[in-house]
Amino acid sequence: MKKIILTVLMAGILAGCQTTSGLKINSEADISANTLIEKVDREALMDSKNIELPGNYDVRAFSKISLAAYIDNIAFEKDALATTINNGIVAKLLENELARTKRFEVLTRNCDACEYEIAFQAENTVDEGAIQQGEKLNPDYVLESSMALGTVFKKKSDHSEIIFRSLVTTKIVNPTTGEIIHSFEPIRFNMPAKRFFSIEGKFLGGFDYRKPNELQEAYREVAQKSIQALVNKVMNYYPVGGRVTNLRYGRFAIDSGINQGFAVKQPVVLFLSDDGLDIPVASGEVTPKQDGGSGLLFIWKENEPFAAEVQKKLEAMGKEYLKRNKIYAVSVGTPESWKF
């Protein structure tokens, strides 16, 4: 059904001398071992056998959840080329990618400008209601990640190559109880090889790994790719949805939109919720507005008695059927059109 395609906030200063001997990154730095970006396309949902409910859906939780994301550790692999990295840049990349999905309320812990504004208002404004310390919101969940960065050198017949790679481990935690809600499989990413030329250890040209700024940029790039894959996994783990309020002539309306977690045109599965039974009956796509959305129905699920019954009763009763029965649309995966 799917073609393919996850989180982090930097907690401390990443020192150039940090190393780790923990979970190993793919020692061969094989691009085929990369964690893939998972997307769902329209063609897949035109196939009746793919009309199934996603994991972890809950009609009682079809609303945005609030997140604060942290990286508790970033380290270099034992034999990696080490440098210093601006944690704040990587942390903001993560927060921006999460916020861009519209799936979550992202509570930043990396807003230097906010601190500057608080100080400015304290010294320069007299208006009531000025920003004060202690007014920040608490998250529903915390995403805690660790990142390991590494390099691999490969000698070819006429040149040499250096591959930058990363490994990210992540868990979702209830900040009140400390309970681990979910742990994601490790995210692995190996960048395409960068070429350079040398003779008997003397550098001649190509990617200059001796320069700190070149190293920093390469590590930021591989970190960003890992973050994008991580955000994709988080999006897929937290499906969004809403109740269908109207359906006719192959189009439908739902009571959820951007403010409830939809960002762009989103592939969905429609299902009937009947006294504890949730039965997928059709596939479609939702285009969101602020607090609602318009949908295009693709196909009804074949060889499903409930689907045939729903279709028949909708044709006979129209909107009245939807008032008496609960039909929902739930997201399935990351949209094909989503840009990483």
Task: Note whether 191 and 255 are same-domain residues.
Answer: no
* In the predicted structure, residue 135 carries a pLDDT above the cut 80: no
On whether both 216 and 292 belong to a single domain, the answer is no
Residue 186 has pLDDT above 60, yes or no: yes
Residues 85, 173: one domain?
yes
CATH of the domain at 272: 2.40.30
Number of domains in the chain: 2
Question: Based on the domain organization, do 254 and 146 belong to the same domain?
Answer: no
228/189 Cα distance (integer angstroms)? 11
Same domain, 38 and 108: yes
Judgement on whether residues 213 and 283 belong to the same structural domain of the protein: no
Give the model confidence (pLDDT) of 72-119 as tens digits: 888 899 889 989 887 777 888 888 889 988 889 999 887 778 777 777
Q: What's the CA gap between 104 and 90, in Å, rounded? A: 19
pTM: 0.81
| pLDDT tens-place string over residues 201-210 | 788 999 999 9
Q: Which domain holds residue 26?
A: 19-55+64-237
Based on the fold, state whether residues 246 and 132 are members of the same structural domain: no
In this structure, is residue 2 part of a structural domain? Answer: no
> Which of 204, 237, 270 delimits the end of a domain?
237
Name which residue leads in pLDDT, 217 or 93: 217
Q: 205 and 269 share a domain?
A: no
Q: 219 and 252: one domain?
A: no
pLDDT in tens, 58-70: 888 888 889 999 8
pLDDT for 301 equals 96
Mean pLDDT of 141-153: 92
Residue 29 banded pLDDT, cuts 50, 70, 90: low
Of residues 110 and 322, which shows the higher confidence score?
322
pLDDT of the residue at 129: 59
Query: Which percentage of the chain shows pLDDT scores above 90?
Result: 54
For residue 184, the domain's CATH number is 3.30.160.150
Residue 340 lies in a domain: no
Tell whether 89 is covered by a domain: yes
Is 155 a domain residue?
A: yes
* CA–CA distance, 91 with 53 (Å, rounded to integer): 33
Q: Are residues 173 and 251 in the same domain?
A: no
Asked if 219 and 128 sit in the same domain, the reply is yes
The whole-number pLDDT of residue 114 equals 78
Residue where a domain stops, chosen among 237, 259, 291: 237
Is residue 138, in this structure, part of any structural domain at all?
A: yes
Claim to verify: residue 164 and residue 36 sit in the same structural domain = yes
Q: What is the pLDDT of residues 231-284, one digit of tens each?
A: 999 988 999 999 999 998 999 999 999 999 988 889 999 999 998 899 999 999
Long-range contacts of 245-248 (CB under 8 A, 24+ apart): 245/292, 245/319, 245/322, 246/319, 246/322, 247/297, 247/314, 247/322, 247/327, 248/314, 248/318, 248/319
Task: Please check whether residue 265 lies inside any domain of the structure.
Answer: yes
- C-alpha 27: how far from chain center: 26
In a domain, 250, yes or no: yes
**pLDDT at residue 24 tops 50:** no
Does some domain include residue 13? no
Is residue 11 scored above 70 in pLDDT? no
Cβ partners under 8 Å of residue 275, min gap 6: none
- The residue out of 237, 267, 296 marking a domain boundary is 237
> What per-residue confidence (pLDDT) applies to 26?
45
Mean pLDDT score of the chain? 85
pLDDT at position 132: 64
Looking at residue 196, its pLDDT comes to 92
